[in-house]
Structure 1
Amino acid sequence: MNNPPKGSSLRLGRRSLPGQAYLITTCTAHRQPYFNNFWIGRGVVSALREVEAATTLAFVVMPDHLHWLMVLHGNASLSRTVQFLKTRSAQNVKCLVACDGGIWQRGFHDRALRRDDDVVAAARYIVANPLRAGLVENVGEYALWDAIYF
């Protein structure tokens, strides 16, 4: 049986709905822990603040991936919005990262959240990632996260 490339299977059923909250997860190329470097991680945070097509509710930049909870605006495309973030963050850190190709894997995982309770649970999940990974003992010790919805 011929399987489609992994990135294309992630796109199956993807819809861009205005006002919809999405939990986005995307990984670095080859799961390289680029964001162990604080300044490289801050380049991603800076890019998140530049996204105009969505409102960021919560995020955490982990060493080798990003969790982003956001609400899509107007006629914005979910795929284009995530692509903007990846492109802009790569531009922000290109002088700090020596890598072959881009810093991000192709594609991303998305999950549309259906209820306000789901949004709160997703924000808490995101914020607690550094704790679960054993990177810190207290969320306040981790510098690469923020949440307006907790």
Structure 2
Amino acid sequence: MTAIYHGSRLRQGRFSEQGRIYHVTTVTKGRYPYFSDSQLASLVCRTLLWSDLSGATTTLCYALMPDHLHWLFQLGEGQALPGVMLRVKGRSGRLCGATLWQRGYHDHAVRKEENIREIARYIVANPLRAGLVRSLKDYPYWNAVWL
């Protein structure tokens, strides 16, 4: 039986909104812990900075876990969420020399009534909840604008 990818169906009828804040989660291919390697993790973190410098995004926070990324950002002017994700995943994969990411991603458009700082706290606390560290100061692959 051939596996059929249905992720694109989830995107049908959806649109991305410039200036909107999104919480995106994307996982590595086969949930392989590529980012246990500090060099690969650093390249992905630099790719998020590159996205910001290009004007595609304004990162509010992120936590890069060994096998996935949580990223809270504001979508830049003239940008579409699928294009941003394609460029970030493609560039990070090329820099790392591997097909890192599974196809697709989960996105949540943050609503006005939601507390952005609570979402950010949830994101940056991921290494703690996963038991990777006892203190965030010991985990190098996260950042937040509120520091």
- What is residue 44 of structure 2 aligned with on the other side? 44
User: Between Structure 1 and Structure 2, how many residues are aligned?
Assistant: 141
Q: Structure 1 residues 46, 117: closer, same or farther in 2, change over 3 A?
A: same
Report the Cα distance in structure 2 between the residues aligned to 1:87 and 1:28, rounded to whole angstroms. 12
1:92 maps to 2:89: no
1:130 maps to 2:130: no
TM-score, normalised via structure 1 length: 0.88
Q: Please point out which of 83, 100, 104 is paired with 1:103.
A: 100
5 Å-filtered alignment, 1:52-91, equals 52=54, 53-91=56-94
Instruction: Among all aligned residue pairs of Structure 1 and Structure 2, give the percentage whose two residues are the same amino acid.
Output: 43
Cα deviation per residue 1:17-62 (whole Å; 9 max; x = unaligned)?
A: 1110000000000000000111110010010011121101100110
Report the Cα distance in structure 1 between the residues aligned to 2:80 and 2:21, rounded to whole angstroms. 13
How many angstroms does 1:117 deviate by? 4.4
The one-letter code sitting in structure 2 at the alignment partner of 1:85 is V
Q: Please point out which of 108, 111, 116 is paired with 1:114.
A: 111
TM-score, normalised via structure 2 length: 0.89
Q: Structure 1 residues 20, 149: closer, same or farther in 2, change over 3 A?
A: farther
Q: Structure 2 unaligned runs (5+)?
A: none
4+ residue stretches of structure 1 with deviation over 4 A?
A: none
| Partners of 1:25 and 1:66 within 8 A in 2 | yes
